[in-house]
Amino acid sequence: MIGLLRKHRFFRSHPLRASYDAVVIGGGAHGMATAYYLAKDHGMKNVAVVEQSYIGAGASGRNTTIIRSNYLTPEGTRFYEASVQLYKTLSQDLNFNMLFSQHGHLTLAHSDRSVNTMMERAEVNRLLGVDSRVIFPDEIKELEPMLDVSDHPTFPILAALYHPPGGIIRHDAVVWGYAKEADRLGVEIHPYTQVTGITRQNGRVTGIETNRGRISAGTVISCTSGWSTLVGRLAGIEVPITTHILQACVTEPVKPLLRKIIVSGTLHIYISQSDRGEFVMGSEIEPYSGYSNRGTFRFIEDLAMHMVELLPMLGRARILRQWTGLCDVSPDYAPIMGLTEADGFLIDAGWGTYGFKASPIVGKTMAELGATGRTPDLIAPFRLSRFYENELVSERGAAAVSH
């Protein structure tokens, strides 16, 4: 293990120090981005990232790489649009090619009700300057000839929300790019360092305990996915989240066939084709809560059934791998970011199935909060206290699939 740490291509290994100005818990895209912007935007160099496993082992390496900003609420749309803008120049900013490709995103509507939701999303999006509009079967077929827009499928396609800037990016490259640059700026990255306790004095968080020793810290920022309730509890904070698994899979690579990213909320599926030619596909979160990382055969069966109805040519593609990830779902299906009732303990959690696409703007805003103590306007609506103030941000209708 130590050999692996020493030889990592993108960052150096360090002994754990007794004290840091800030400690970020979670070595995924959110944690790495937060550490990077603490160093880059705010000059904080005495920063550590602790990760219980390898870098990018959690949701950052298990998502289906979709980037978009066509959300339903103004708060969500504004926030994700800021993320898309950062993604556009991320490869240049981090000097690391992440293969970002904005080839367009189609969310299909198969019922009058979902056509209405798409109309509402398009209105909200356009008012906020996001390119998004409702289109109908002739144009859908033109944009994506592989789709069956006839009345043969059980749920024929009535319309779609078309979001031209939607795209995909190489997910693990995002983690590595941030890690590489954070390391260059002096941030210490500590994989295989599990948080076992969080110390509090007079209500203030003063540090963490890990399997490699104790650390004191001016600020502790929790950027974990799947484990945020457990980490919150270590600090004495209850985070209103249930954890579910999400499954995805990938086929063998074939020649370029699919032009767009396609999502169907009614059928609970989404698909894109990677630059390598694989179809990357996923479904909704499992309805039960859990932490298992075993995929199920039922997932493959249901997914294949719906996919082949929409895209008949997929019937001949062979699935190579499937995997699962953990999704933290909040009561209003929107994330939770910001201060907690423990001074010095900040939280970034509750990302459901759309955390990866928020990574750059999460990093930027959480770093600003960590460094200055001021909550940026973009994340103020997502504060933890909203659940006690009756100020929910309902994002359910903008989700790719079940939420």
CB of 22 to ligand PYC, least distance (A): 29
Residue placing its CB nearer to ligand PYC in the complex, 259 or 268: 268
Residue placing its CB nearer to ligand PYC in the complex, 191 or 355: 355
CB of 284 to ligand PYC, least distance (A): 8
Is residue 268 within 8 A of residue 223, CB to CB? The reply is: no
Of 30, 25, 34, 21, the closest CA to residue 369 belongs to 34
CB of 395 to ligand PYC, least distance (A): 10
3-state secondary structure the chain: CHHHHHCCCCCCCCCCCCEEEEEEECCCHHHHHHHHHHHHHHCCCCEEEECCCCCCCCHHHCCCCEECCCCCCHHHHHHHHHHHHHHHCHHHHHCCCCCCECCCEEEEECCHHHHHHHHHHHHHHHHCCCCCEEECHHHHHHHCCCCCCCCCCCCCCCEEEEECCCEECCHHHHHHHHHHHHHHCCCEEECCCCEEEEEEECCEEEEEEECCEEEEEEEEEECCCCCHHHHHHHCCCCCCCEEEEEEEEEECCCCCCCCCEEEECCCCEEEEECCCCCEEEEEEEEEEECCCCCCCHHHHHHHHHHHHHHCHHHHHCCEEEEEEEEEEECCCCCCEEEECCCECEEEEECCCCCCHHHHHHHHHHHHHHHHHCCCCCCCHHHCCCHHHHCCCCCCHHHCCCCC
Binding site for ligand PYC (CB under 6 A): 64, 66, 68, 270, 282, 353-354, 399-400
Residue placing its CB nearer to ligand PYC in the complex, 220 or 358: 358
Residue placing its CB nearer to ligand PYC in the complex, 67 or 147: 67
CB of 168 to ligand PYC, least distance (A): 10
CB of 335 to ligand PYC, least distance (A): 12
Residue placing its CB nearer to ligand PYC in the complex, 175 or 371: 175
Residue placing its CB nearer to ligand PYC in the complex, 144 or 368: 144
CB of 63 to ligand PYC, least distance (A): 7
Residue placing its CB nearer to ligand PYC in the complex, 166 or 207: 166
CB of 199 to ligand PYC, least distance (A): 36
CB of 117 to ligand PYC, least distance (A): 14
d(CA 50, CA 344): 17
> Shortest Cβ contact with ligand PYC: which residue?
400
Residue placing its CB nearer to ligand PYC in the complex, 101 or 199: 101
Residue placing its CB nearer to ligand PYC in the complex, 27 or 282: 282
CB of 403 to ligand PYC, least distance (A): 9
Amino acid at 100: F
